[in-house]
Amino acid sequence: MPTAPVDTRGSVLYFEDSGVPNGSTDYITLFMIHGTCFHSAGFRPIIPFATQSNIRLVLLNVHGYPGSTPYSDEELDRLEGSLEARKAELQARGSELAAFIRWFIITEKIPPISESSHGVLIGGLSVLAWSGGNGHSLCMFAHADRLAEDTRKLFDEYLRSLILYDPSSTAAGTPAPPALKSIRPDRSLPLEEQAIFFGTQASSFYPPFTLPDTIPETPSYAPRVALHEGPGAVDPKLQPTTFKMTTSELRSVMHVPIMERAQHVIWSPLLREVFRENVRRALYDCRHDDGTGAKKKILPAVRVHVVWCDMTLGEVAWAVANLNCEYKEAAPEARRPVEFHKLEGGNHFIHWEEPARFVGVLAKII
Say which range, 58-62, 108-112, 117-121, has the weakest mean pLDDT. 117-121
Place 290 in a pLDDT band, splitting at 50, 70 and 90. confident
Q: Is the pLDDT of residue 293 over 80?
A: no
- Range of the structural domain that residue 102 is part of: 3-365
| pLDDT of res. 232 | 83
| pLDDT of res. 233 | 87
Strand, helix or coil for residue 346: coil
Degrees to nearest 5, angle at CA 28 with 46 and 164: 65
Taking the C-alpha atoms of residue 354 and residue 359, their distance in angstroms, rounded to an integer, is 9
| pLDDT of res. 20 | 99
Taking the C-alpha atoms of residue 201 and residue 314, their distance in angstroms, rounded to an integer, is 10
Q: Note the pLDDT tens digit of each residue in 229-243.
A: 998 888 999 999 999
| pLDDT of res. 294 | 81
In DSSP terms, which residues pair with 60 in a beta bridge?
15, 33
| pLDDT of res. 167 | 99
Q: Note the pLDDT tens digit of each residue in 11-20.
A: 999 999 999 9
Residues 121-148 as b or e (16 or more Cβ within 10 Å = b): ebbbbbbbbbbbbbbbbbbbbbbbeebe
Q: Note the pLDDT tens digit of each residue in 326-363.
A: 999 999 999 999 999 999 999 999 999 999 999 999 99
State the chain's mean pLDDT as an integer: 97
Say which range, 149-153, 230-234, 304-308, 320-324, has the weakest mean pLDDT. 230-234
Overall number of domains in the chain: 1
CATH number of the domain within which 81 lies: 3.40.50.1820
Q: What is the DSSP letter of 309?
A: E
